[in-house]
Amino acid sequence: MSKCYHCGDDCNITAIVFDDKNFCCNGCKTVYEIFQSNDLTYYYDLQSGAGTTPLAIEGKYDFLTSNTIAERLIEFDDGTVQIVNLFIPDIHCSSCIWVLENLKKLHPGITNSQVDFPKKTVRVTFKGELVSLKELVILLARIGYEPYISLEDYDKGKSKIDRSLLYKLGIAGFAFGNIMFLSFPEYFEVGGFWLDQYKGLFRWLMFAFSLPVVFYAGSDYLISAYKGLRSGLLNIDVPIALGILVLFTRSSFEIFFDLGSGFFDSLTGLIFFLLVGRFFQQKTYSFLSFERDYKSYFPIAVTRLGKKKKEETVQIYAIKSGDRLLIRNEELIPVDGILLTEKAHIDYSFVTGESEPVEKISGDKVFAGGRQCNGAIEIETLKSVSQSYLTQLWSNSVFQKDKSTAFQTLTDSIGKRFTIAVLTIAIIAASFWMFQDSSKVLNVFTAVLIIACPCAIALAAPFTLGNMLRIYGRKKFYLKDSSVIEQLALIDTAIFDKTGTITTTQSSSISYEGMELSVEEESLLKNTLRASNHPLSRSLYALLKEHNIETLDDYKEYTGKGVQGVKDKSDVKVGSADFVGHQQLSDYNSTSVHVSTNDSYKGCFVFHNNYREGVSEVFKEMGRHMDLAVISGDNTGEKTRLEKLLPKLTPLYFNQKPTDKLEFISELQANDKKVLMVGDGLNDAGALAQSNVGLAISENINVFSPACDGILDATKFKYLNNYILASKKAMKIIKLCFVLSLMYNVVGLYFAVTGQLEPVIAAILMPLSSISIVAFATLATNVIGKKLK
């Protein structure tokens, strides 16, 4: 089978040949034509089959003509030139970068465009008179790069990028290098005439260099320690801040009174290494967002039908209850409402993870968050956006809490004991010298605090966890930040959502129950289904064996009921139980399609959720070291199948509302459980936020997932237990690092307590311990990473 020249998908029998190339659909062909006529075919040379099929967009972006909405999206506007930053989830390869940066070839109104690949955004500079924002967006959509514009873009102000860490790192590195260079002559105490002559100058220069390091680059540590002390916490920043302050005051003191060269080299080195650790830990997946709420799913505006059916674009927040809205094909329903059109197929996969569209008929309630997938519908709203069933969830206080601040990391809990130990040693040593040689008391006391500064301890966690985060990322397991790894290692209870989490949305399996169909009947059935566009018909059609294409004598589609086909005097009815004339058993909960031929009932096709590969194994392995449960918003239809699949006695909860899930988790936490929640849809958002670690399973990383602590690619679900075990190993590495760094501290303390601490010893010991810890942590985590699948 030939591959589509544009998107690389398999072309079906219906391949369109154009310019000696195969295309799978007209959309792809059109994009090719656009590229070809604008001299952009280099796109296909960079990478073959790179394109994306453009979707129908008619009317979708009408809201961009509204000035108030466009103004919020445009970043810069001086009347003639405008700049807009658009998020395009489809950016995935070098061809994408190339074609998007050559947008100016497609329209004279576009002056410049620049892609940020990691963030999947394109910043377009265009002339407002020649091309409007709407035209620009439609142009992008037509070439297969449809921008994603959501309510979130409308709400957020102009975001500022925080680059302070880079500045701090730059300053610390700069000062560290220069101070090393200036303090070098004094390390060897060669004591020559020239050295003595310039010593003062060198020292004052070092002092000057150290000022911005202590008061700007190191300010975070001082502030954090101060905050910690005020709230009665001895975090790891307390001994660090103590070390920094003691180093700085003693060194300044030595210089002022010409007693020695001070420890400026160690001081700046310490802060530089700490900042490097912080920088390394700060691995972010900028194309993923872990903070999403319903706003990133919802559109900015919808079409309201005013008096006399006049269509007008209205901002989502301006919708009042009682408004009539027009929801086009593939549009999201933004508020709860009542369906006015005869029927609708609503896909709630955003909300529940269930991919099979639900059929609704006129008068039914439809809930916000569903996607209409069968033509345009009209609804009458019942509530405003923020009061809808789904969006109400976000008024729960759990969404205001910041999880990471409440969690005490291993490093911080060590910090307390460490600070107490160091202060005790310093006081004992000082009081010992009080009796021996009182001139050395202050020297020894400060030396202990300097040498015991837990630089290596503070570096162990950032490097171990930072590297782990990268390893996980390569395995398609994306975590929000490194503290999630620590939390993951402590998990003792895991709760799974069912639909979309342990079941796959990609395919459902169908089983047939009833009398066997003859070959003729099956052929007739298949030919009848061919004509139907109902999603269940499509799935069933794909499952049935190949039969010759025959023309039906008669074909009728009964909306909301089923289809009927007639051929050579035999007829077949497919659809709901009532439609085919069958009394449905009341306890039957699964989705099923019934079949009858010549008015005699044959049987039904039952649609089952397909469970992900390795679900039983994951449950079995995880069940060994933690409690498990499945919590689902669905009915009990799948109960028996789940019980067979999962280890015996795994608790299963059905018919759980989003808030029930949240409360379930918080109850467990009240019993001192550390809970891992694995979910996927927006209805899990509350539970994901409440749990200690909330993981979202995603079939496609670029598609949106709810706010969570980590996103796991669905294909890696079977390795979930391995990832949890790896996090435990990572914590062991950190503990080993602590032991290693304490050994360095013991050596250093020997010099400090005996009053022999020279600047050169501190200058050697500090980087040596830091670098060996960093090397050990990186190597050990890489070993773990190698074993990980």
CB atoms within 10 A of CB 588: 12
* Closer of 166 and 223 to another protein (Cβ): 166
Please give the order of strands across the beta sheet that includes 371-372: 358-361, 343-347, 371-372
Question: What does the DSSP assignment read for 449-465?
Answer: HHHT--HHHHHHHHHHH
Structure tokens at 596: 């009858």
Q: Please, which residue, 255 or 510, has the CB nearer to another protein? A: 255
Give the binding range for another protein (CB under 8 A) out of 88-96, 379-387, 565-573, 611-619. 88-96
- For another protein, the closer of residues 92 and 530 by Cβ is 92
Residue type, 543: L
What is the rounded CA–CA span in Å between residue 646 and residue 618?
Answer: 9
User: Is residue 289 a contact residue for another protein (CB under 8 A)?
Assistant: no
If the CB atoms of residues 192 and 232 are measured against another protein, the closer one turns out to be 192
Interface with another protein: number of residues (CB under 8 A)? 34
Options 24, 64, 73, 115; binder of another protein; rule CB under 8 A:
115
- Residues 259 and 751: their CA atoms lie apart, in Å, by 19
Cβ pair 467, 782 in contact under 8 A:
yes
Shortest distance (Å) from residue 35 CB to another protein: 10
8 A C-beta contact, residue 508 and residue 733: no
Q: Which residues contact 647 (CB under 8 A, 6 or more apart)?
A: 616, 619, 620, 623, 628
By DSSP bridging, strand 693-698 and strand 675-679 are parallel
Q: At what angle do helices 720-753 and 410-436 cross, to 10 degrees?
A: 10
Say whether residue 94 binds another protein (CB under 8 A): yes
User: Least separation, in Å, of the C-beta of 188 and another protein?
Assistant: 18
Pick the binder of another protein from 37, 76, 112, 118 (CB under 8 A). 118
Which one of 115-123, 337-345, 434-442, 777-785 is the stretch in contact with another protein (CB under 8 A)?
A: 115-123
Q: Is 9 in the site for another protein (CB under 8 A)?
A: no
**How far is the CA of 666 from the CAs of 50, 670, 678, 705, in angstroms?**
46, 6, 15, 22
Contact flag: residue 650 with another protein (CB under 8 A): no
Q: Is 167 in the site for another protein (CB under 8 A)?
A: yes
**Using CB under 8 A, which of 17, 56, 130, 166 touches another protein?**
166
- Whichever of 178 and 590 has its CB closer to another protein, that residue is 178
Per-residue contact string for residues 493-532; x = within reach of another protein by CB under 8 A: ----------------------------------------
Least distance to another protein from the beta carbon of 642, Å? 38
Quick one: which of 1, 67, 79, 161 contacts another protein (CB under 8 A)?
161
Compute CA distances 432 → 419, 444, 754, 756, whole Å: 20, 10, 10, 15
Q: Of 32 and 738, which has the nearer Cβ to another protein? A: 32
Axis-axis angle for helices 237-256, 264-281 (nearest 10):
150
CB 91 within 8 A of CB 115: yes
State which residue, 198 or 588, has the beta carbon closest to another protein: 198
Q: Is 204 in the site for another protein (CB under 8 A)?
A: no
Q: By CB under 8 A, is residue 93 in contact with another protein?
A: yes
Among the listed ranges 93-101, 151-159, 376-384, 638-646, the one in contact with another protein (CB under 8 A) is 93-101
Instruction: State which residue, 205 or 544, has the beta carbon closest to another protein.
Output: 205
Closest CB to another protein among 178 and 413?
178
What Cα–Cα distance (Å) separates residue 590 from each residue in 353, 371, 510? 16, 22, 11
Dihedral in degrees, nearest 10, Cα atoms 296, 89, 478, 663: 20
Contact flag: residue 279 with another protein (CB under 8 A):
no
DSSP letter string, 10-55: BP-TTPEEETTEEESSHHHHHHHHHHHHTT-THHHHHSTT---PPP
Q: Where are the beta strands (DSSP E) in 454-553?
A: 477-479, 493-497, 503-514
The contact pattern for another protein, residues 28-67, with x = CB under 8 A and - = no contact, is -----------x-xx-xxxxx-------------------
Does residue 117 belong to the site contacting another protein (CB under 8 A)?
Answer: yes
**Helix residue ranges, H only, 257-394:** 264-281
Q: How far apart are CA 262 and CA 255, in angstroms?
A: 7
Match 């019934």 to its residue by tokens: 594
The reply on whether position 309 binds another protein by CB under 8 A is: no
List the one residue out of 391, 680, 407, 668 whose CA is nearest residue 688. 680
From 17, 56, 130, 201, residue interacting with another protein (rule: CB under 8 A): 201
170 is a site residue for another protein (CB under 8 A): yes
Q: What is the spatial distance between Cα 771 and Cα 758, in angstroms, rounded to a whole number? A: 20
24 phi and psi, to 5 degrees? -80, -25
What's the closest the beta carbon of residue 158 comes to another protein, in angstroms? Answer: 14
Of 34, 74, 97, 421, the one binding another protein by CB under 8 A:
97
Note whether 215 binds another protein by CB under 8 A. no
* 28 vs 115, beta carbon nearer another protein: 115
**28 phi, psi to nearest 5 deg:** -65, -40
Cβ proximity to another protein: between 94 and 533 the closer is 94
| Shortest CB 734 distance to another protein, Å | 28
Using CB under 8 A as the binding rule, whether residue 702 contacts another protein is answered as no
Tell which one of 14, 197, 400, 438 touches another protein (CB under 8 A). 197
**With binding defined as CB under 8 A, does residue 92 bind another protein?**
yes
Per CB under 8 A, the segment of 17-25, 194-202, 652-660, 780-788 that binds another protein is 194-202
Judged by CB under 8 A, the stretch of 166-174, 240-248, 369-377, 622-630 that binds another protein is 166-174
Question: Minimum Å distance from CB 170 to another protein?
Answer: 5
Exactly one of 160, 163, 230, 545 binds another protein (CB under 8 A); that residue is 163
Q: Which of 78, 159, 192, 194 binds another protein (CB under 8 A)?
A: 194
**What is the four-CA torsion angle of 547, 549, 551, 557, rounded to 10 degrees?**
70
Q: What pairing do the DSSP bridges indicate for beta strands 337-339 and 365-366?
A: antiparallel
Selected from 101, 330, 364, 550, the binder of another protein by CB under 8 A is 101
Instruction: Give yes or no for a contact between 178 and 267, defined as CB atoms under 8 angstroms apart.
Output: no
How far apart CA 605 and CA 526 sit, in angstroms, is: 13
User: 377 in helix, strand or coil?
Assistant: strand
What is the side-by-side order of every strand in the sheet holding 74-77?
A: 74-77, 81-87, 121-127, 110-116
Helix (H) or strand (E) holding 212: helix 193-212
Phi-psi region of 349 (alpha: psi -120 to 50; beta: other; left: phi over 0): alpha
Interface with another protein by CB under 8 A: which range of 3-11, 167-175, 680-688, 751-759? 167-175
- Which residues of this chain interact with another protein, rule CB under 8 A? 39, 41-42, 44-48, 92-94, 97-98, 101, 115-119, 161, 163, 166-167, 170-171, 174, 177-178, 181, 194, 197-198, 201, 205
